[in-house]
Amino acid sequence: MSHNSNGTIVKRAREDRYQHHDYYNLDELLSEDHLLARDAVRTWVKQEVSPIIEEYADRAECPTHLFKGLAEIGAFGPSLPEEYGGGGMDEIAYGVIMQELERGDSGIRSMASVQGSLVMYPIYKFGSEEQRKKYLPKLGSGEFIGCFGLTEPDFGSNPSDMITNIRDDGDAYILNGAKMWITNSPVADLAVVWAKDEQGIIRGMIVERGMKGFTTPTIHGKWSLRASITGELVFEDVRVPKANLLPNVQGLKGPLACLSKARYGIAWGAIGAALDCYDAALRYSKERIQFGKPIGQFQLTQKKLAEMITEITKAQLLTWRLGTLANEGRATPAQISMAKRNNVNMALEIAREARQIHGGMGITNEYPIMRHMMNLETVLTYEGTHDIHLLITGMDVTGLNAFK
């Protein structure tokens, strides 16, 4: 912020002074391809996201023009095969891309997570060859925008109780119900929707904008993820052609497999948000003088910064190992839950500490801290809440199920 001659506050684009932090030389564990992908996305974020993000978040508006750019930098399905619109890279490349996007803003990472892991992935994994050919190249290039409908107004953490349903009607299914809190729904061309059939089995299907009875109202009033657009999906006797049913999966494991893919990306993404807060706080601690010294010279500030980089480094190691396991096809859903839970909570705590280091300035959009902090409140909740992931770990280590 600055003031004009009338004393009015004038907003200006925040300068992105982010510098790389790699305390344990973890870059040495990355391949040339990983580093190239990461640096390309970092440059894109500095050029395209940082100059506009505060203003879009302030207006609670999604920078939808960035969908095309996200496609161009390969952010949609980085680890899906190239012939199906993906990037043909490995899981660590996918991770570092998500990290850089979320360093810019969790909402921008969300745009990519949903498109790649929650829309392209289920069509690739569970769709017919016709569905793959029809939708994936257009999703990969950003020509189509997709969304993922699992959560309902009355069923969030327990999607298995969903009431959205389909009924057989000759060459189509009749879809009824509603989905809530759906990222990108108001701007989506298509939705991957999970609904129960007449036998009560969860099935996935592709619902296209324009189908009669299908609407996507916007949810307003969010104080978090303000640069991401969120809405509902409402189905009133929507005729969905049988050709749109995903043929190759039945049951909750379908959507949960997509969530595993997206939660993995979030585990990496959260490190990006944490790094951005740490970077800003470290710089501020050297520039801000109180009691005649930089505040970074006070032991209490050093404790905050030392703990931040320690937690970031632990999260980086956890995630790198998870990525290695994922590349070998050995990352379990419970391991992914542990990383998502740990890293998002770590990032939120770092955002809070970084805000303190910035004093009053920390609450302004002169710095990215408060925006990251507010975003991370959503990230802590979506894709499985902090406590749900704890219970997944608890179930894994005890063999006892706290949900049932």
Kindly tell me which of 157 and 302 has the beta carbon lying closer to ligand FAD.
157
Sequence-distant (≥ 6) Cβ neighbours of residue 127 within 8 angstroms: 135, 206, 246, 247, 248
In one-letter notation, the amino acid at residue 387 is D
Residue 213 backbone zone (phi > 0: left; psi -120 to 50: alpha; other: beta): left
Task: Indicate which residue of 311, 353, 366, 383 is catalytic.
Answer: 383
- 130 labelled catalytic: no
The residue range among 236-244, 289-297, 364-372, 381-389 that interacts with ligand TGC, by the rule CB under 6 A, is 381-389
Q: Is 178 helix (H, G, I), strand (E, B) or coil?
A: strand
Contact with ligand TGC (CB under 6 A) among 89, 114, 193, 315 = 114
Residue 359 binding target from ligand FAD, ligand TGC, none, CB below 5 to 8 Å by type: none
**Of residues 165, 236, 233, the one with CA closest to residue 201:** 165
Q: Build a one-symbol-per-residue string for 124-163: x at contacts with ligand TGC by CB under 6 A, - elsewhere.
A: ------------------------x-xx-----xxxx---
Q: CA-to-CA distance for 217 and 232, rounded, in angstroms?
A: 5
Q: What is the CA radius of gyration of the chain?
A: 21
CB 179 within 8 Å of CB 164: yes
Q: Is 298 helix (H, G, I), strand (E, B) or coil?
A: coil
Residue 159 Cβ vs ligand FAD, minimum distance, rounded to whole Å: 8
* Per CB under 6 A, 343 contacts ligand TGC: no
Kindly tell me which of 18 and 148 has the beta carbon lying closer to ligand FAD.
148
Contact with ligand TGC (CB under 6 A) among 333, 349, 361, 377 = 333
Residue 372 Cβ vs ligand FAD, minimum distance, rounded to whole Å: 15
E strand or H helix at 265: helix 253-287
Question: CA distances (Å), 105 to each of 26, 108, 226, in order?
Answer: 23, 5, 10
Residue 142 binding target from ligand FAD, ligand TGC, none, CB below 5 to 8 Å by type: none
* Per CB under 6 A, 385 contacts ligand FAD: yes
Question: CA distances (Å), 91 to each of 67, 262, 289, 326, in order?
Answer: 21, 11, 43, 6
Query: Chain-centre distance of CA 251, in angstroms?
Result: 24
Kindly tell me which of 230 and 319 has the beta carbon lying closer to ligand FAD.
230
Residue 114 Cβ vs ligand FAD, minimum distance, rounded to whole Å: 6
Alpha helices in 28-163 (DSSP H): 32-44, 50-59, 66-72, 91-104, 106-113, 121-126, 129-140
Residue 180 Cβ vs ligand FAD, minimum distance, rounded to whole Å: 7
φ, ψ of residue 192 in degrees (nearest 5): -90, 115
* Degrees to nearest 5, angle at CA 386 with 383 and 392: 80
Residue 137 binding target from ligand FAD, ligand TGC, none, CB below 5 to 8 Å by type: none
The residue range among 133-141, 177-185, 201-209, 287-295 that interacts with ligand FAD, by the rule CB under 6 A, is 177-185
Catalytic residue IDs: 383
Q: Which residues bind ligand TGC (CB under 6 A)?
A: 110, 113-114, 148, 150-151, 157-160, 183, 251-253, 256-257, 259-260, 262, 333, 382-384, 388, 392, 403
Q: Which residues bind ligand FAD (CB under 6 A)?
A: 114, 147-151, 156-157, 181-183, 225, 230, 378, 381-385, 387-388, 391, 403
